[in-house]
Amino acid sequence: MGLVGIEQNKSIKMLTIVTVIFTPPILIAGIYGMNLDQMSEMKMIFGYPLSLLLMLLSSLALFLFFRWKKWL
């Protein structure tokens, strides 16, 4: 029973880490998906690529943090 509990803990930990890594891009995509005209970034030439870069960097930062903590 103890080994099964340890394996389940590892699985839940991995699912939690993956969820945390993908939450910032989903949040950013949700904000930019509202089609608001008041957002100054949408009128910029590089607004869309900048938002994609922000999504990538936020996920990469969390991934590197978890690697640094040796959780991955």
Token pair for residue 2? Answer: 């103890």
pLDDT value for 51:
76
User: pLDDT tens digits for 32-63?
Assistant: 777 766 766 667 788 778 877 888 898 899 88
Question: What's the whole-number average pLDDT of the chain?
Answer: 82
pLDDT value for 36:
64
Q: What is the pTM assigned to this prediction?
A: 0.60
- One DSSP character per residue, 17-41 reads HHHHHHHHHHHHHHHHTT--TT-GG
pLDDT value for 25:
86
Tell me: pLDDT of 68 over 90: yes
Token pair for residue 17? Answer: 């880490």
Tell me: pLDDT of 1 over 80: no
